[in-house]
Amino acid sequence: MPPHGTPHRPGPAETAPPVSGTAASDTAVVRDALGVGVAVGLSGFAFGVTSAGAGLSVLQTCALSLLVFTGASQFALVGALAAGGNPLTAAAGAFFLGVRNAFYGLRLSQLLALPRSVTPLAAHWVIDETTAVALAQRSRRGVRLGFTVTGLTLYVLWNLTTLLGALGAEALGDTGAWGLDAAGPAVFLALLAPMLRTATERAVAALAVLLGLGLLPVLPAGVPVLVAGLAAPAVLWLKGRALGTPGSGRPPASARADGAAHPTTPEEDR
């Protein structure tokens, strides 16, 4: 403490600005986004190999990753083509798998609140991984940062490894002889499995597998994946019947147990 009347000169500890939580939060978001982007982006190599094995050229393979940029749809398309399916049927299956991104976009458009000039560009990055990282954030700044870093990292790596996979497949020749034709389905299952967290999601996946494999011998290539898409509404309908939906004559399970449905807050809904 300085003597009375002596001007107080703050030391370094007093003059240093307080550590902001924003910087630490941004670092965590970037770390998580990079982790997702790198992990999934490297699997573009498997798509490049699978696409080349299905008979697509390097240019066609790279164009799919650049312009479509949704892994599940890309794998579905080349998988149906490799099985000898009609190109239109294969494209239809890929399209319906990609429709989910439109629903992601409805939610992300509210959270990101981007200027209209960049919205079309951002829409190209609306996929499973960018949506998952963005929705995990608690602030608009975090949502935008997570979405951008994940999208940029994944887009660059996915397209680079797609090119490397296609070139490598051409150099190897027959990918079937090396067993690389199984790389696409294996990667797709590896990406899907961690997302099946609830009983409903696992039921949808199981029913879709049963429909797809069961109808594979009797329907043209590419059609079973379209029929498998009916698994989600079928399971949800059965779940609604079990819980009791309006008009079914049965009150919801929570109302039967507690006497009234428990209202949810916006935080719970989110």
Give the residue among 180, 186, 192, 221 at the shortest CA–CA distance from 50: 180
Is the pLDDT at 190 greater than 70? The verdict is no
| Band of pLDDT at residue 266, cut at 50, 70 and 90 | very low
Pairwise pLDDT comparison (96 vs 162), residue with the higher score: 162
* pLDDT, average across residues 98-112: 90
User: What digits encode the pLDDT tens for the residues 39-76?
Assistant: 888 889 889 988 988 889 999 999 999 999 998 889 88
Predicted local confidence at residue 119, as pLDDT:
92
Other CB atoms closer than 10 Å to residue 239's CB: what's the count? 14
Is the pLDDT at 112 greater than 70? The verdict is yes
Please state, in angstroms and rounded to a whole number, the distance separating the CA atoms of residues 122 and 206: 33
* Interacting residues of 2 by C-beta distance below 8 A, sequence separation 6+: 8, 9
User: What digits encode the pLDDT tens for the residues 126-148?
Assistant: 998 899 899 989 899 999 999 99
| Band of pLDDT at residue 177, cut at 50, 70 and 90 | low
On whether the CB atoms of residues 90 and 221 are closer than 8 A, the answer is yes
Predicted local confidence at residue 19, as pLDDT:
41
Question: Nearest 5°: CA angle at 232, between 158 and 226?
Answer: 65
Predicted local confidence at residue 14, as pLDDT:
44
Q: Where are the domains of the chain?
A: 26-195, 198-250
Is the pLDDT at 33 greater than 80? The verdict is yes
Give the residue among 232, 214, 198 at the shortest CA–CA distance from 100: 232
